[in-house]
């Protein structure tokens, strides 16, 4: 499935941060923010903590029913104080951002992820989810062709299907 720049990478960053926040993965969050170009320098420990707190606020969007996601994302947009901003940086042509290129990393991450979730909730709210395998709970963005994903990875899906197969064999 093709997403616009905010609906795809931004929504995926939101899922990753929601998952990192659940695990207190400071180093992974710091590397992810750098890797995604959210800041030219490594975020400070305080900025990473605030980004992971934001990740905790992102998580309910993935677990909510599609109709309930609008209110949750509107609350995120309000907190992020997103507004369109045309940016020209790194020799790239003018393009849309929801935070100034001079904004701090926390503000940039908030605006990027809230904007991305907003685009995706408006375009196809069924594409967000939490893994259906009991005990997993990993947030994901469904980029599959048919949009029917229920598990975060093929590994989780396989575990569930193997367990179901074994249960059927035992009861037969």
pLDDT digits (tens, 9 = 90+) for 119-145: 999 999 999 999 999 999 999 999 888
pLDDT tier at 166, thresholds 50, 70, 90: confident
End-to-end CA distance of the chain: 40
Of 53-62, 79-88, 123-132, the one with minimum mean pLDDT is 79-88
Closest CA to 8 of 86, 119, 84, 91: 119
Q: pTM score, two decimals?
A: 0.85
**Alpha carbons 3 and 15: distance in angstroms, whole number:** 15
Within a 13 Å sphere around the CA of 73, how many CA atoms are in the beta-carbon half?
Answer: 26
pLDDT for 1 equals 47
**Domain 6-171: assigned CATH number:** 1.10.3300.10
Find the helix or strand (DSSP H, E) in which 87 lies. strand 85-87
Within a 13 Å sphere around the CA of 165, how many CA atoms are in the beta-carbon half?
Answer: 6
**Alpha carbons 148 and 168: distance in angstroms, whole number:** 24
Q: Tell how far CA 17 is from the center of its chain.
A: 6
């Amino acid at each position: 499935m093709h997403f616009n720049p905010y609906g795809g990478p931004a929504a995926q960053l939101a899922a990753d941060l929601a998952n990192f926040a659940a695990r207190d993965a400071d180093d992974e969050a710091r590397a992810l923010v750098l890797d995604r170009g959210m800041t030219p320098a490594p975020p400070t420990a305080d900025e990473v903590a605030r980004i992971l707190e934001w990740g905790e606020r992102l998580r309910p969007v993935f677990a909510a029913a599609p109709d309930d996601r609008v209110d949750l994302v509107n609350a995120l947009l309000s907190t992020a104080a997103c507004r369109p901003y045309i940016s020209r940086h790194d020799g790239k042509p003018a393009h849309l951002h929801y935070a100034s290129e001079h904004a701090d990393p926390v503000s940039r991450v908030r605006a990027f992820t809230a904007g991305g979730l907003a685009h995706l909730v408006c375009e196809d709210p069924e594409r967000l989810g939490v893994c259906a395998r009991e005990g997993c709970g990993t947030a994901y963005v469904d980029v599959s062709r048919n949009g029917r994903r229920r598990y975060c990875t093929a590994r989780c899906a396989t575990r569930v299907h193997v367990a179901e197969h074994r249960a059927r064999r035992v009861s037969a």
